């Protein structure tokens, strides 16, 4: 399909998390139904009325992010980990989208699982790396916990619609190989790489992504009508999108939606963003969900680790 420049006038649904956590059975079911419907239609949904990640925590996270990324390059590079970027710092221009060799205009930090499982495959549960900076570890530890808890709630609600009576979906993500990414898109100047954007069009690798609303414009998703839809919401809300692994086990009925971060807004200013990539445990088996997939026999049975490593090689984070 040819790349489009058309912008959509549609609006993403906004769902109240409080109505699911504290609501009646009817309210819980309404939330779960709307979540499923939005992911099928858009691959995205906006979550409001949530207190797992407070406005104060979000403000602290962006303040500390700005302080860290203002450090000299040599200081930040001390925290580069040789393990494929699973922990610590990844330098500007390292990552690129699949099938696009032009590097994205970003640098980032990864925080991994705080409570690794006691058994199974531990190959991706490296120790976290923390910079010598006041507040960094407690703030991003709290952010990780809050978004992980919210993600498990999302998977529980979704499972009630696509795999009722089974815990396969939420269980695989408990103590999973999930990653909190602390992103910085530096100001864009005249010497920027030609045709480079802050994040080229791509799909996420994981089950679902929970994204703290960024401090600047630029995020767009590609609708089923092949139009770009700008994703904007209030700063205390959380944007949720479906990734490749969820698309895989649903046989594509919940598609992994293409999205990008274009060079929009005031390009003389930095843009910060904090996504939480919810992954299964590495030895989890990605198999078709019976009764939901239209053609389960066409779905490859593969481990989460195998799926992840294919993609890491495709985006330049693993050789």
The beta strand positions in the chain, using DSSP E, are: 14-16, 44-48, 88-90, 107-111, 179-185, 199-202, 208-212, 219-222, 228-230, 238-242, 259-261, 271-278, 285-286, 302-303
- pLDDT grade for 102, boundaries at 50, 70 and 90: low
Kindly report whether the global pTM for this prediction surpasses the value 0.85: yes
- pLDDT grade for 189, boundaries at 50, 70 and 90: low
Residues 229-242: what's their mean pLDDT?
Answer: 93
Residues 181-191: what's their mean pLDDT?
Answer: 80
Neighbours of 9 (CB within 10 A): 7
- Using CA atoms, how far apart are residues 307 and 152, in angstroms rounded to an integer? 21
- pLDDT grade for 202, boundaries at 50, 70 and 90: confident
The alpha carbon of residue 39 and the mean position of all alpha carbons in its chain are separated, in whole angstroms, by: 14
Residues 96-119: what's their mean pLDDT?
Answer: 79
Kindly tell me if the per-residue pLDDT of 67 is higher than 60. Answer: yes
- Using CA atoms, how far apart are residues 248 and 233, in angstroms rounded to an integer? 28
Residues 8-12: what's their mean pLDDT?
Answer: 86
> Cα dihedral sign for 198, 208, 304, 180?
positive
- pLDDT grade for 84, boundaries at 50, 70 and 90: low
Per-residue pLDDT tens for 112-129? 999 888 777 777 788 999
Kindly tell me if the per-residue pLDDT of 138 is higher than 80. Answer: yes
**In the numeric block, which tokens belong to residue 101?**
């060799």
**In the numeric block, which tokens belong to residue 132?**
């010598």
CATH number, domain 52-214+248-314, options 3.40.50.620, 2.170.120.12, 2.60.120.330, 3.40.50.720: 2.60.120.330
- pLDDT grade for 289, boundaries at 50, 70 and 90: very high
The beta strand positions in 95-254, using DSSP E, are: 107-111, 179-185, 199-202, 208-212, 219-222, 228-230, 238-242
In the sheet that holds 238-242, the strands lie side by side as 14-16, 44-48, 238-242, 208-212, 271-278, 179-185, 107-111, 88-90
Residues 286-296: what's their mean pLDDT?
Answer: 91
Q: Where are the domains of the chain?
A: 52-214+248-314
Q: What is the DSSP letter of 127?
A: P
Q: How far is CA 78 from CA 71, 88, 91, in A?
A: 11, 9, 11
């Amino acid at each position: 399909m040819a790349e489009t420049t058309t912008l959509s006038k549609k609006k993403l649904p906004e769902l109240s998390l409080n109505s699911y956590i504290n609501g009646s059975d009817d309210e819980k079911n309404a939330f779960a139904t709307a979540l499923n419907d939005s992911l099928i239609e858009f691959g995205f949904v906006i979550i409001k009325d949530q207190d797992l990640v407070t406005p104060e925590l979000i403000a602290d996270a962006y303040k500390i992010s700005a302080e860290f990324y203002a450090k000299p390059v040599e200081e930040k590079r001390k925290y580069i980990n040789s393990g494929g970027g699973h922990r610590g710092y990844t330098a500007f221009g390292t990552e690129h989208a699949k099938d696009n060799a032009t590097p994205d205009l970003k640098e980032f930090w990864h925080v991994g699982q705080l409570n690794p499982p006691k058994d199974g495959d531990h190959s991706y549960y490296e120790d976290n790396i923390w910079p010598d900076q006041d507040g960094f570890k407690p703030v991003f530890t709290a952010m990780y916990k809050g978004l992980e808890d919210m993600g498990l709630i999302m998977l529980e609600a979704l499972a009630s619609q696509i795999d009722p009576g089974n815990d396969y979906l939420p269980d695989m993500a408990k103590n999973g190989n999930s990653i909190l990414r602390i992103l910085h898109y530096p100001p864009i100047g005249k010497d920027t790489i030609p045709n480079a954007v802050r994040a080229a069009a791509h799909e996420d690798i994981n089950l679902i992504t929970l994204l703290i609303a960024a401090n600047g414009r630029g995020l767009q998703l590609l609708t089923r009508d092949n139009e770009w839809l700008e994703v904007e919401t209030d700063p205390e809300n959380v944007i949720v999108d479906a990734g490749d692994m969820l698309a895989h086990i649903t046989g594509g009925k919940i598609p992994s939606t293409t999205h990008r971060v274009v060079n929009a807004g005031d390009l003389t200013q930095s843009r910060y963003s904090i996504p939480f990539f919810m992954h299964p445990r590495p030895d989890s088996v990605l198999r078709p969900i019976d009764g939901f997939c239209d053609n389960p026999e066409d779905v490859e049975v593969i481990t989460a680790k195998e799926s992840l490593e294919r993609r890491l090689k495709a985006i330049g984070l693993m050789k």
